[in-house]
């Protein structure tokens, strides 16, 4: 059975005090009102990880995540954060290859493959992001384009390791725009990607990999998206900054 996951990507938002208060609200509301099996992942800026780790109680479905890591293990890379460092402060999930990082920081498919490998080595679950731009969708090549992103960064993984990955499909034209993919568009892509994984690995393995949808997912549209056969949850940006909205999304399975 694949996991149901709702991950909040805080991006470059919230100072420490605001972050602690948002996380406390999420933890408290989830304790009282979230009774399904969904795993909630909170991905704050790096600098808040240690403080938030102390807030998250044991034996809950709430996990700590980061938004990125560096693609080298250690060394003279001023300002960077390694997978091993993240592990040492309690990180369990890391977002890899968000479209903002691919675009603004020129992250390449090879670097993303390296990040995934380093994260798996220390036992952190990568949330691997993929997704097409509007022009690619309009050209009709979106299915092949996104499948190729998965081939390029994930298909060197062993049968054991591919099953430790979470994939997040995020059409770039839907991120932060308020323009969600329709549930039919999202389901079509998710089913296509699952089939792509099945062809490389096996049907059984593909059925075990959680594929999340991201891009203007909110309390109003989450139910319809999560009801799709191949959508296993969401990667949430804007709506993860409001505790009530984030939990309502997590209640939408
Ligand atoms: P959004 O962001 O929910 O604000 O569209 C999603 C993301 O970038 O992960």
Looking at residue 59, its pLDDT comes to: 87
Give the residues of the chain that fall short of pLDDT 70: none
Which H, E and C letters describe 88-140, residue by residue?
HCCCCEEEECCHHHHHHCCCCHHHHHHHHHHHHHHCCEEEEEECCCHHHHHHC
Choice from 212, 235, 240, 242 to test ligand 1 binding pocket (greatest atom count within 8 A of CB): 235
For residue 86 and ligand 1, the question of a CB distance below 6 A is answered with no
Q: Give residue limits of the domains in the chain.
A: 5-250
Looking at residue 110, its pLDDT comes to: 98
The answer to whether 98 is a known catalytic residue is yes
Ligand 1: residue whose CA is nearest its atom 9? 237
Atom from ligand 1 closest to the CA of residue 100: 8
Superfamily of domain 5-250: Aldolase class I (3.20.20.70)
The answer to whether 170 is a known catalytic residue is yes
Looking at residue 73, its pLDDT comes to: 98
CB 99 within 8 A of CB 127: no
Run of H or E residues at 142: helix 142-154
d(CA 236, ligand 1 centre) in Å? 5
Give per-residue pLDDT as tens, 168-214: 999 999 998 888 899 999 999 999 999 999 999 999 999 999 999 99
pTM, two decimal places: 0.98
d(CA 218, ligand 1 centre) in Å? 10
Atom from ligand 1 closest to the CA of residue 214: 6
For residue 216 and ligand 1, the question of a CB distance below 6 A is answered with yes
Shortest CA distance to 42 belongs to which of 33, 53, 54? 53
């Amino acid at each position: 059975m694949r996991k149901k996951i709702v991950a909040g990507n805080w991006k470059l938002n919230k100072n420490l005090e605001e972050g602690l208060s948002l996380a406390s609200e999420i933890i408290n509301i989830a304790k009282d009102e979230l009774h399904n099996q969904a795993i909630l992942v909170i991905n704050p800026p790096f600098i808040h990880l240690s403080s938030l780790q102390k807030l998250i109680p044991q034996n809950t479905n709430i996990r700590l995540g980061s938004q990125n890591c560096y693609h080298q293990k250690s060394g003279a890379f001023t300002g960077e954060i390694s997978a091993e460092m993240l592990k040492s402060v309690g990180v369990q999930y890391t977002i890899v290859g968000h479209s903002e990082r691919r675009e603004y920081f020129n992250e390449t498919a090879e670097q993303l493959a390296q990040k995934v490998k380093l994260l798996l080595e220390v036992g952190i679950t990568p949330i691997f992001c993929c997704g097409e731009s509007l022009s690619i969708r309009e050209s009709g090549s979106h299915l092949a384009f996104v499948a190729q992103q998965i081939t390029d960064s994930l298909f060197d993984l062993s049968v054991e390791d591919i099953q430790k990955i979470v994939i997040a499909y995020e059409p770039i034209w839907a991120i932060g725009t308020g323009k969600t993919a329709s549930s039919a568009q999202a389901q079509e892509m998710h089913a296509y990607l699952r089939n792509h994984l099945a062809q490389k690995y096996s049907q059984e393995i593909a059925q075990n990999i959680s594929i999340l949808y991201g891009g203007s997912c909110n309390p109003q549209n989450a139910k319809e998206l999560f009801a799709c056969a191949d959508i296993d949850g969401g990667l949430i940006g804007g709506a993860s900054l409001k505790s009530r909205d984030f939990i309502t999304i997590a209640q939408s399975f």
